[in-house]
Structure 1
């Protein structure tokens, strides 16, 4: 059964928790409501589909290991439909392959089970902070910032990236990563610095998720992702954004 719980509809962000484990759903429902969120629960992808036909959510907490359509398939389907709703994956401890695949197909962050609800809360806040500010309809943006490079136009206030006038889809995580890079042109950024600026948290040793998001961005903007011009690797340090595409 699917339930909706409202903490404060005037201000609450809406979180969809998709997990087949009723104990985890109930734990997260109680904890997130206590933290001021509106919470919607779904036990499988069919329940999620019904919810998203009638409602919009601000973030999805998505378990990867579910009967029927699994979390990877759900994430892939949403991104293929150009749905940019931020996704935080819940993965089994040590399932690095699933975690990397999930990030490659567009998830914004992940957390391994078992987890501390406080850590999930920190991840939720970090992902939601990366959303663009909502402007009043018809009002000029107070923070309009457009960066042009090559055939691309990146509007940071609208969270839009265009190539030769055609819009390209960015997830929340990809937007935050690209925004961080373009704001530091020609300045090599370590993985530690990128994690801090783009995600608002410490870089974890052996965590490949940051490299996966950079790889996704390269596939999006580079003519040859194997020989990138705009997002270049600085060996032993991290990455650097080169606006003119030169070495």
Structure 2
């Protein structure tokens, strides 16, 4: 795994460098936000994962995350946030981060999150090798999805700018229309099992996914109060 870690606390970087070395990961560290972003911008395809602190000199983590997502929707991004800052966590997810870890954090917890994101990215790549890129392999009454090109359309209008987690959620819902998924089930399937974070991560991702769907058509992801979420578009057929 080739890691870009943008974190201004040198002690944290030194600690993680030891863990990365033990795992035989390659890691590049930047303590300045603008420099870290430039390192990503220069070679966006070489990074398997980005670990991004929220509070950085020159350019903060929110700005970096947003600008990285303008370059690529695919690179997994884990944001480091303060323990008591729920708003920062939600905003980070809305900017396109795939996950967050709260400070102070356990290095083993961060490694577990990284491995889960990296594993899921490789599953997508392996599946795509056996599929026709012109094929919509998931179709409902209104939505069609190509999991190779990772494109989704509502009728003929693209549901644009989906982050990796938003796309994976849409795929899971569209594969199982009318089935109700709890937050716990979605976390186990889309994130990792066991999941060490806050279940509200699911709500933040679904909120953004709904907003992007509503730009092109009526809502197809519905809340089942007290239970979870389901996909339902038969009324639009």
CA distance in 2, matches of 1:18, 1:205: 21
Q: 1:229 to 1:66 in 2, by over 3 A?
A: same
CA distance in 2, matches of 1:61, 1:46: 14
Q: 1:136 to 1:89 in 2, by over 3 A?
A: closer
Q: 1:208 to 1:243 in 2, by over 3 A?
A: same
CA distance in 1, matches of 2:141, 2:25: 41
Residue aligning to 1:172: 164
TM-score w.r.t. the length of structure 1 is 0.82
Residue aligning to 2:137: 146
2:209 to 217, 221, 239: 217
Q: In angstroms, what is the RMSD of aligned CA positions?
A: 2.9
CA distance in 2, matches of 1:76, 1:133: 23
Q: 1:91 to 1:245 in 2, by over 3 A?
A: farther
TM-score w.r.t. the length of structure 2 is 0.85
1:29 correspondence with 2:29 = no
Secondary structure, in 3 states, of the residue corresponding to 1:62? strand
CA distance in 2, matches of 1:78, 1:156: 22
Q: 1:104 to 1:54 in 2, by over 3 A?
A: closer
Q: 1:75 to 1:49 in 2, by over 3 A?
A: closer
Map 1:114-193 → 2, pairs under 5 A: 114-131=104-121, 132-134=123-125, 140-141=130-131, 146-149=137-140, 151-163=142-154, 164=156, 166=158, 168-193=160-185
Contact 1:64/1:90, CA 8 A, preserved across alignment: yes
CA distance in 1, matches of 2:203, 2:216: 17
CA distance in 2, matches of 1:190, 1:46: 39
Residue aligning to 2:190: 198
The alignment of Structure 1 onto Structure 2 pairs a total of residues equal to 232
Contact 2:41/2:71, CA 8 A, preserved across alignment: no
